Structure 1
Amino acid sequence: MHRFIPHVTVATVVEDQGRFLLVEEYADGKRVLNQPAGHLEANESLLQAALRETLEETGWEVELTGVTGIYLYTAPSNGVTYQRVCFAARPLRHRPELALDDGIIGPQWLSREELDARREQWRSELVPRCIDDYLAHGGGPLSLIRD
C-alpha cells in the first residue's frame, strides 16, 4: 500500500513599502519567480526554516511577523503534494556578501502589479495567492505555530 506523505515547505512574504521580496531561480531549466521558500529540515522548527530559507535564497535577514496561511498544493509537473506554511515578514538587513543557494539567480523586489505582469514566470499559483492573502488580512499570530 502506498502511503501519502506531503512535503512540508515554508515560504515568506516579505514586504517593504509596497514591494515584495521574491526569488528569481531556475526550476526545470526555466527562470521562475517564487517567494523565498524551501523544505523543512530535520531538527528545525517551521520558524527557523522560514528564516533560514529566506537568508539562503535572498541574502536578507528578516523578522517573522505573522502566519499568512497554510496551503496544500499538488504540483502538476511532478504530482508531488506540498504543504506550505507561509509567513509574513519584514526585512531587517541585507547581507549581499553571502553566497545564495544553487539555482538562485537573485532576489527581486516587485510590486503586486509588476508580479502580475510577469505571470508566465510564476513558479506556481501559490506565489500571487500568498501575497494576496497577506494583503487581505496580514497574518495570524505566530503563536499559532507550535513546536
Structure 2
Amino acid sequence: MNDLRWKPNVTVAAIIEKDGRFLLVEEQTAEGLKLNSPAGHLDPGESPAEGCARETLEETAHAFTPTALVGIYMARASVRGEGLTYMRFAFCGELGERERGRSLDHGIVRTLWMTPDEIRASHARHRSPLLLQCMEDYLRGARHPLGLIHVDPSLRG
C-alpha cells in the first residue's frame, strides 16, 4: 500500500461578467498561449475567497470582491507528464478599478473581454477544462452564499 496521501491541488477562479462579456487572461504556458479565468493556487493561511481576490489582483491588476460561490469543480490534467487533480472554487463578484502602475503576474500576457460564444469557440485554447463549465454555470444563475465555505480560525495559525 502507498503511504503517500492523495492531495488535490486547490485553485480559485474569478468569473467576472460585464455587459455580456467575461474577463479572461491570456497566459504563456508550456503549451503556448492559453486562455483562463483569473485563477491560481490557494496560498497557505487564506480562505478561498481571499485567494480569489488576491489572484485576480495579481493577474488583472483589478481589485475583486467575491460576492458568491458559483461552484466547486474537480478535473484531472497532465502537467509535465504527471497526472494531477485540481479542485477549483469559482467565485463571482464585484470588479474594482484597475490599479495604475501595477504590472500583471509573471506569464500573463494580457487581459481581454470575451463573449460567451467567443469563449465557447476558443475551447482549444483554454488552459483549464473548467473555464467553460464555470462560465456556463454562472450563466445558468448558479450562486451560493460565501458562508457555505466555513473557515475555521485555526487556518490563521
For Structure 1 versus Structure 2, the TM-score category normalised by the shorter chain is over 0.9
RMSD: 1.3
Task: Tell me how far apart the structure 2 counterparts of residues 124 and 7 of structure 1 sit (CA, whole Å).
Answer: 13
- Counterparts of 1:1-147 in structure 2 under 5 Å? 1=2, 2-77=4-79, 78-147=82-151
Q: Which runs of 4+ in 1 moved over 4 A?
A: none
In structure 2, stretches of 5+ residues that fail to align are 152-157
Task: Tell me how far apart the structure 1 counterparts of residues 31 and 103 of structure 2 sit (CA, whole Å).
Answer: 21
Report if aligned partners of 2:10, 2:41 keep a CA contact under 8 Å in 1.
Answer: yes
In structure 1, stretches of 5+ residues that fail to align are none
Q: Structure 1 vs Structure 2: percent identity of aligned residues?
A: 40
Aligned to 2:154: none
Q: Which AA in structure 2 matches 1:60?
A: H
Residue by residue, what CA displacement relative to the aligned partner does 1:47-83 show, whole Å, maximum 9, x if unpaired?
A: 1100000000011112212101101111134311011
* Secondary structure class of the residue paired with 2:101: coil
Q: Which AA in structure 1 matches 2:131?
A: V
Q: How far is 1:96 from its partner?
A: 4.2
Q: Larger Rg: 1 or 2?
A: 2
Q: Which AA in structure 2 matches 1:134?
A: Y
Q: 1:93 to 1:146 in 2, by over 3 A?
A: same
Residue by residue, what CA displacement relative to the aligned partner does 1:89-136 show, whole Å, maximum 9, x if unpaired?
A: 221211242111111101111110111222221112211110000111
